[in-house]
Structure 1
Amino acid sequence: MNGFKTLDDADVAGKAVLTRVDLNVPMKDGRITDDLRISRILPTLHELSRKGAKVVVLSHFGRPNGKVVPEMSLKPVAAALATALGSPIAFAEDCVGELAQDAIAKLKPGGIVLLENTRFHAEEEKNDAEFARKMAALGDVYVNDAFSCAHRAHVSTEALAHLLPSYAGRNMEVELKHLTAALEVPEKPVAAVVGGAKVSTKLELLGNLLSKVDKLIIGGGMANTFLFAQGREVGKSLCEKNMADTARDILREAVARGCAVVLPDDVVVAREFKPGAASKVVPADRCPADQMILDIGPVAAARLGTLLADCRTLVWNGPLGAFETPPFDAGTVTVARTAAALTAAGRLLSVAGGGDTVAALRHAGVAEEFSYVSTAGGAFLEWLEGKELPGVAALQKAA
């Protein structure tokens, strides 16, 4: 993934720069509960402002389905963004038309304005050409700093790149740099941790990784399906028994490609899935009929630590167990901390993202200790699946 221009190539002084970011942050009772996405875009906004651009910030928020939904206004986010930036910013009640034009006209070089939710217009998600021209007319330059939205071919994420001089923001640049280093041109051996509930939702991901990595570590509910496919008893565990043939196909393909699939040696089982439930460790093929597998066991966790110590690159997507519910977090926490320690020692490039991964690494206290943790969900997964991301492809074509 390369071939795009960055802010190093952009002349932005005195120009209106349409800057697509991802401000779709979690909120509760009008307060942002996780500001990681805000902190990630600050370098781009600060740099554009410092270089004298008139910074016009574009983002979606929630899924208003092309209608104005007051609860999905970006106005509350504007206040949080201003606090994070350490300077006031303006807010426009629309992302096209006179309200947006007037707000931009009032900007001085270095000033920043946040436009209202792009998805208040149905044309945004339809990638409508006329709507794209209206939005492009607001600016002189386009910067995409929203990798987490790059899998969507929308006006603000894709079409604008074809209508204005276009560049990747610093967040986008850093993300693509790490993703390229992790799977496109990795230092080998490469390991991938893939967890989560269902094999059926990650077939394309598994298929792509078989040709990219040396060791494929499978955990979570997915591992139960593979254990079942090998004829092992999984009791009342979450298990897609109808996917057994598919799991066996994946295992055969892995052998053909020289990829070692790693399943747990031992597991933590319990009769009930609740915090503090009575549990025990058993071999992976000895799950009692009246119990369920909820985590990998200590032997499996130790084995994975040894395995990672022999690798140079790690891609992580999904927890190894039901980490939200102690004591079934131990496996994920142990392996995550091992990966973080190897990263700190300069022995491992570790890149993680997608789904519950960020929450799991935060729970383990190591989210800041991996080489890179992506805030992208769907985009990260589609990248793992080997798919072309429209937002990235548009930047490459523009270059």
Structure 2
Amino acid sequence: MSWKTLDDMDLAGKRVLVRVDINVPVDKGVVTDATRIERIKPTITDILDKGGKPMLIAHFGRPKGKVVPDMSLRVTVPALEQALGRKVRLIETLEGAENLTEEARAADVQLLENIRFHPGEEGNDPELAQRLAALGDVYCNDAFSAAHRAHASTTALAHLLPACAGRLMQAELQALEAALGNPARPVMAVVGGAKVSTKLDLLGNLVEKVDCLVIGGGMANTFLAAMGLDVGKSLCEHDMAATARDIMLKAGAAGCEILLPADVVVAREFAEGAAHEVTGAHACPADAMILDAGPQAVARIIAAIDAAKTLIWNGPLGAFEIVPFDTATNATAKHAAERSRDGALISVAGGGDTVAALNKAGAAEDFTYISTAGGAFLEWMEGKDLPGVAALKGEG
């Protein structure tokens, strides 16, 4: 690894600036899902156990460089204290952080108010980074989900102090390295979702890195149409046909097999329990919509999973939100989970719909790694350099 972890740092008696992502959902002043807070606990606990004093730096919402009271991190303090079992003190201003009160110093964990209240944060302002650096002795980035942003607290600051990855960042980077950097082969990817146009960079990168690429969801309809098949009233980007054909040619040249559904589940309405039927992908009725992959398609994907040693998953195979169009996603996800649990498969998944689909299938728990990083996960899969990761390596 070309970046350091907490194991490489001497933290005894040191002030540790920890960039975290605690941008959690809130309703009526109460955190409704503390998952992101729970996931930073190993890093904070480790720093405290090593004798360090953590000051958390985080954003909340999109205040665009202005103080917006409704976007104060104060709302996260009770959830942080409950998760960490420690006293957490909110430091309301940068000036307050530069002149800590005795009460603030006595708190186990300090939390700097929403860093995006400062206009210099999103501009990667060196002056703001210098002021932040003066608050600490060590910088720890535990927010992979913000690593695709070249902001003062994710990039500039990392160059000003001894820097390392926190436990969550470390786990994410190691999982992604295992999936795309130096993977056990064969490698397969499942990419689903509505539109090809939103995942062009992703598909272009994957066909050169994986051995088998499964395309599902509305994206598959665009590829089927590009092959000259009638997809009826299905969600389809007909204007992306030439692009889809280019991706198939690129895959062929790279030796990547593309799996498109040989059969599909069609219906005349998009509704729970709608009347539906299975047809060949070449035989979609003109008045119907393709809403899921069919049983033959599922069997092919399961066979590919059995042959693979590494799986990357982003996006569902059908309209997983409603029954019965969740069948293909559920069946293949459960099979991947079983192979992962048995130690036969390294499986890494990410993206909002992906996490929801795998949770709905009851498969998420057995995947090797589930990323909640959203945009950063996708940009990594697209082969892009992430500024926050590059900064930990001393680059950029």
* Paired residue type of 1:274: A
Distance 2:322 2:5 in 1: 42
Report what 1:162 is aligned to. 159
Provide Cα deviations, 1:26-83, integer angstroms capped at 9, x if missing partner.
2233333332222221100001011121110111111111111122111111211111
Distance 2:73 2:81 in 1: 12
Partner SS, residue 393 of structure 2:
helix
Report if aligned partners of 1:4, 1:395 keep a CA contact under 8 Å in 2: yes
Taking structure 2 as the reference length, what is the TM-score of the superposition?
A: 0.97
Q: Aligned in 2, Cα 1:271/1:104: closer, same or farther, shift over 3 Å?
A: farther
Report what 2:49 is aligned to. 50
Q: Which 5+ residue runs of structure 1 have no aligned equivalent?
A: none
Which residue of the other structure, out of 206, 210, 214, is the alignment partner of 1:209?
206
Report what 1:346 is aligned to. 343
RMSD over aligned Cα, in angstroms? 1.6
Q: Aligned in 2, Cα 1:22/1:100: closer, same or farther, shift over 3 Å?
A: farther
Distance 1:298 1:189 in 2: 23
Taking structure 1 as the reference length, what is the TM-score of the superposition?
A: 0.96
Report what 2:360 is aligned to. 363
Q: Per-residue deviation at 1:224? A: 0.4
Report what 1:267 is aligned to. 264
Which residue of the other structure, out of 246, 250, 274, is the alignment partner of 1:249?
246
Report if aligned partners of 1:25, 1:34 keep a CA contact under 8 Å in 2: yes
Distance 2:244 2:51 in 1: 55
Q: Per-residue deviation at 1:153? A: 0.4
Q: Per-residue deviation at 1:314? A: 0.1
Residue correspondences, number: 396
Report what 2:217 is aligned to. 220
Matched, 1:177 2:160: no
Provide Cα deviations, 1:107-132, integer angstroms capped at 9, x if missing partner.
24x82111111111111000011111
Q: Aligned in 2, Cα 1:116/1:103: closer, same or farther, shift over 3 Å?
A: farther
Report what 1:312 is aligned to. 309
Runs of 4+ in 1 over 2 A off after TM superposition: 26-36, 98-101, 103-108
Report what 1:23 is aligned to. 22
Distance 1:275 1:283 in 2: 22
Matched, 1:277 2:274: yes
Report if aligned partners of 1:267, 1:284 keep a CA contact under 8 Å in 2: yes
Provide Cα deviations, 1:266-317, integer angstroms capped at 9, x if missing partner.
1111111122222221111111111111111122112211110010000001
Report what 1:148 is aligned to. 145
Q: Which 5+ residue runs of structure 2 have no aligned equivalent?
A: none
Distance 2:176 2:85 in 1: 31
Q: Aligned in 2, Cα 1:285/1:28: closer, same or farther, shift over 3 Å?
A: farther
Q: Aligned in 2, Cα 1:278/1:29: closer, same or farther, shift over 3 Å?
A: farther
Report what 2:128 is aligned to. 131
Provide Cα deviations, 1:131-168, integer angstroms capped at 9, x if missing partner.
11111111111000111110000011111101111111
Distance 1:104 1:251 in 2: 64
Report what 2:2 is aligned to. 3
Report what 1:106 is aligned to. 104
Q: Per-residue deviation at 1:351? A: 0.3
